[in-house]
Amino acid sequence: MALRTLETLGELGGKTILIRCDFNVPLSDGVITDDGRIRASLPTIQRLLAGGAAVVVMSHLGRPDGVPDTRYSLAPITQRLGELLEVPVHFASDTVGPVAHGMRAALKPGEVLVLENLRFDPRETSTVDAERAEFASLLTLGVAAFVSDGFGVVHRKQASVFEAALTVPSVAGLLVATETDVLRRLTTDTQRPYTVVLGGSKVSDKLGVIEHLLPHVDRLLIGGGMVFTFLKAMGYNIGASLCEPDRLESVKTYLNRATELGVDIVLPTDVVVASTFAADAETVVTRIDEIEATAFGASGLGLDIGPETSAIFAGLIESSHTVFWNGPMGVFEMPAFAEGTRAVANALSKVNGLSVVGGGDSAAAVRALGFHDADFGHISTGGGASLEFLEGKSLPGLEVLGW
Ligand code: ADP
Ligand code: MG
């Protein structure tokens, strides 16, 4: 259970090192709207450069389905990386073609080469082992070692994550090492009280985490769209709020298990109900037993936790020594439904102990609401990867590094 680390690579001077990063950043009309994942890759790249290596960087972006698609080119990301690193960063317009091979051979110590989007080649995500192995052997041609630092993809058995690590000497980068260390601290030797806050839209995405974390935590606070399946399971009328009827039984099981384990499952006491799913909808705050008793009747939708709930959640979070939060408390993309998420983020920033934000939308939410990375103990760069880790699943991209 120990990842191989950068130190085990020995002398780096004059070597060409291949690194897998996760530059899957949100883009709007070709403009990067949140460069958090690029910034998170800097420490490892800088460490390799400082050791005198030439660094070849690879990543995916979006889901181009195995064919080149200029909308998903890594060119804009390469430019941003160059600005942040302040060293020459070259860009190869292919991954294992003649351009990349030529540029890699010409790369000098202290220089960086970014390859084009890995997912322009169908072999990257192929379900055929031999195809991924072939792609990995081409990616690793001429490199002395492989550094795996794309935490957001370590739950994927893909050529640049798994097979590349089998092909040449391989280690975890600093980001992967930090992420796994923080997440491990959420499952072993946690300082109490330990509170987990879950939200977001889909209850089905989070059931595995609830199941695995329930025996470890003291309190589980639930908000977001997923809470309405819980409220429904408890017999409340929820109007037109999100609900996953096929999960009602599992939710009841977890509620009972929590009682047996002495875990407090804390649900909202009030919610913000809207007339329609729109930024300018009419809204009203109601108690959870009156969701259908508003002027909107059964067509009202719960789109945020209410102010009383925000205050209760904030108090429980601030009095904890370990907090993990995944999933916004409401439809934070619309200001009218962002207050619950803001209250939770604010409370997390005051935790005396370890506070971790996980999940793509949650990380985007805290930055969009004006919080800084330094306000929290850790903001995970991996949504699916961090959840699968906390579910206790084995992650191929970590196992291959010795985990
Ligand atoms: P993360 O990416 O952090 O894991 P999720 O993907 O699970 O989070 O959920 C994020 C989405 O949940 C956001 O787009 C948000 O608008 C939505 N959401 C939160 N609360 C509600 C709600 N009450 N009704 C509908 N959607 C919601
Ligand atoms: Mg999401």
Which pLDDT tens digit goes with each residue over 236-291? 999 999 999 999 999 999 999 999 999 999 999 999 999 999 999 999 999 999 99
Nearest ligand to the CA of 327 is 1
From 271, 331, 391, mutation site for ligand 1 pocket: most ligand atoms within 8 A of C-beta: 331
Identify the structural domains of the chain with CATH numbers, from first to last: 4-174 (3.40.50.1260), 181-389 (3.40.50.1260)
367 C-alpha to ligand 1 centroid (Å): 15
Which of 156, 111, 193, 178 lies closest to 378 in space, CA to CA?
178
Q: What is the pLDDT of residues 326-355, one digit of tens each?
A: 999 999 999 999 999 999 999 999 999 999
**What is the per-residue pLDDT for 254?**
94
Distance from C-alpha of 357 to C-alpha of 383, rounded to nearest angstrom: 10
Under the banding of pLDDT at 50, 70 and 90, the label for residue 1 is low
Q: What is the pLDDT of residues 301-310, one digit of tens each?
A: 999 999 999 9
Q: What residue's CA is closest to ligand 1, atom 8? A: 327
- pTM assigned to the model: 0.88
Distance from C-alpha of 134 to C-alpha of 139, rounded to nearest angstrom: 9
**C-beta neighbour count of 289 within 10 angstroms:** 12
**Strand, coil or helix: what is 65?**
coil
Taking the CA of residue 200 as reference, the ligand 1 atom at the shortest distance is: 9
Q: Which two tokens stand for residue 10?
A: 């020995």
**C-beta neighbour count of 364 within 10 angstroms:** 17
Taking the CA of residue 330 as reference, the ligand 1 atom at the shortest distance is: 20
From 34, 201, 247, 267, mutation site for ligand 1 pocket: most ligand atoms within 8 A of C-beta: 201
Percent of the chain topping pLDDT 70: 100
Taking the CA of residue 363 as reference, the ligand 1 atom at the shortest distance is: 3
Residue whose entry in the numeric block shows the structure tokens 């430019």: 79
CB crowding 35-73: b at 16 or more within 10 Å, else e: bbbbebbeebbbbbbebebbbbbbbbbeebeeeeeeebb
- CA-atom Rg of the chain in angstroms: 23
Distance from C-alpha of 164 to C-alpha of 157, rounded to nearest angstrom: 10
Identity of the amino acid at 55: V
Q: Does residue 31 contact residue 89 with C-beta atoms inside 8 Å?
A: no
- Answer yes or no: is the C-beta of 327 below 6 A from any ligand 1 atom: yes
Nearest ligand to the CA of 336 is 1
Distance from C-alpha of 119 to C-alpha of 63, rounded to nearest angstrom: 7
Q: What is the pLDDT of residues 4-61, one digit of tens each?
A: 999 999 999 999 999 999 999 988 888 998 898 999 999 999 999 999 999 999 999 9
Write down the mean pLDDT value for the chain: 96
Alpha-carbon distances, residue 231 vs 19, 148, 260, 266, 348 (angstroms): 46, 42, 19, 11, 25
Helix boundaries (H) for 145-267 = 164-167, 174-185, 203-213, 227-233, 248-261
- Answer yes or no: is the C-beta of 362 below 6 A from any ligand 1 atom: yes
Which of 326, 369, 367, 375 lies closest to 347 in space, CA to CA?
375
Strands (E), 21-136: 27-28, 31-32, 54-58, 89-91, 112-114
**C-beta neighbour count of 234 within 10 angstroms:** 13
Distance from C-alpha of 88 to C-alpha of 319, rounded to nearest angstrom: 47
**Strand, coil or helix: what is 27?**
strand
Mean pLDDT computed over 84-106: 97
Say which DSSP state 276 is in.
S
Under the banding of pLDDT at 50, 70 and 90, the label for residue 112 is very high
Percent of the chain topping pLDDT 90: 90
Residues labelled catalytic: 37, 202, 360, 384
Orientation angle between helical segments 203-213 and 248-261, nearest 10 degrees: 20
Highest mean pLDDT among 110-119, 352-361, 379-388: 110-119
Write out the DSSP string of 353-397.
Answer: SEEEEESHHHHHHHHHTT--GGGSSEE-S-HHHHHHHHTTPPPHH
Q: Burial, 188: exposed, middle or buried (Cβ in 10 Å; 0-12, 13-18, 19+)?
A: exposed
Residue 386 has pLDDT above 70, yes or no: yes
How many alpha carbons fall within 13 Å on the CB side of residue 333?
6
Torsional sign, CA 368, 371, 374, 375: negative
Q: Does residue 361 contact residue 202 with C-beta atoms inside 8 Å?
A: no
